[in-house]
Amino acid sequence: MDTVTQAVFGAVVGQVGFQSKLGWRAIAAGAALATVPDLDVFGSLSDPFSEWVHHRGITHSVFFGPIAGPLVGVAIWKMYQWRAERTPGKFPVGLSNAQALSAWIWLSVLAFLTHPFLDVLTPYGTQLLAPFSDERFAVNAMSIIDPVYTGILVLALIGGWLVRRGTFGKPGWSPHIAGAAIVMSVGWQIYAWGINEGTKIAAHESLSEQGIETAEVSSYPTLFQPWFRRMTAETDDAIRVGFYSPLTDKPIEWQTYPKAESALINELSRTMEYRILERFAMGEVAWRVEELPNGHTRVEAHDLRYLGFAETELSALWGIVGTFNGDNELIGPPVRFSNRPEPSADIFSVMWVGAFGE
């Protein structure tokens, strides 16, 4: 999920379990540590395909927190010991005494673990078992940006700050407020996942009415809310794309794209670049083949999870493209393409109407 949400969730973890021992620094440390796994983006800048290989890789593994967390926790504890010795009285003794050591370690471990826990809820995919496996996992429950989910956590931080100031309640309420927010946020995640599964049922029913019984259906969240879902239904000869929200009575309107057939698809699928895309897209790949005026052929592999809105031609936000000459030889290595649209009021309007109706 987005960096703000990751930081806020880490801060709430610090608030619920460690604030009583480490003070407000537990909240600040939780926020900072929860964003550390995304530093892997800097290792993804070496070439256009590095992001698909390395982002949400080893730093997003379930093994990263238990291994790196104790090392970071000890380092933080040692830092406060060192600073307390250099400037006596400036820092609370409780930050560096022996009892604080386990708190810093567990805070670091849990803050690191919150990151893959949130990311796996989104369609992008997370390598939970790295470095032992590069398989990607995704639940497809939530968008990478969900204001309701983030808002629940932000309210917990605000509530904790107010009770610490004495505005209302007692300071001891702060962890309870944070705990309640975590429970509510998990409830929201389960609710979003339930919508996703319900959407797939609705898709199968819609397709069945058209006499299509064997389609492989997937459902993906769109931005900012859990209701308006993009669905793909793949059969042997076509890919259908539709949108659905359980909050409206609007039937699913399927856009049908016949599957491309060409021997050149097999040629492109043998390349390293395609294997990277296929692994990244978790096998959800669609093809386009276009004959060019100069006699060359353009072959595109699209990430089926990220198709656009009501396009007349199959088009995803990203994928790879290779160009073949008249002798069916690949002209240069395949390259990555991007069709990311510029943010606009039209996109937000489509999603709003799609989720809630006119």
CB 242 within 8 A of CB 233: yes
Percent of the chain that is helix, strand, coil (3-state, to 5): 50, 15, 35
Determine if the pTM surpasses 0.75.
yes
Per residue of the chain (358 residues), what is the pLDDT tens digit? 999 999 999 999 999 989 988 989 999 999 999 999 999 988 777 788 999 999 999 999 999 999 999 999 999 999 988 888 888 777 677 787 888 999 999 999 999 999 999 999 999 999 999 999 999 999 999 999 999 999 999 999 999 999 987 777 777 899 999 999 999 999 999 999 999 999 999 999 999 999 998 899 999 999 899 999 999 999 999 999 999 999 997 899 999 999 999 999 999 999 999 999 999 999 999 999 999 999 999 999 999 999 877 567 888 999 999 999 999 999 999 999 988 766 666 777 877 888 888 7
Q: Fill in the amino acid letter for 143.
A: S
pLDDT for 125 = 94
CB 302 within 8 A of CB 315: yes
CB 29 within 8 A of CB 14: yes
> Following CA atoms 99, 100, 103, 104 in sequence, which dihedral angle do they give, to the nearest 10 degrees?
-150
pLDDT for 73 = 96
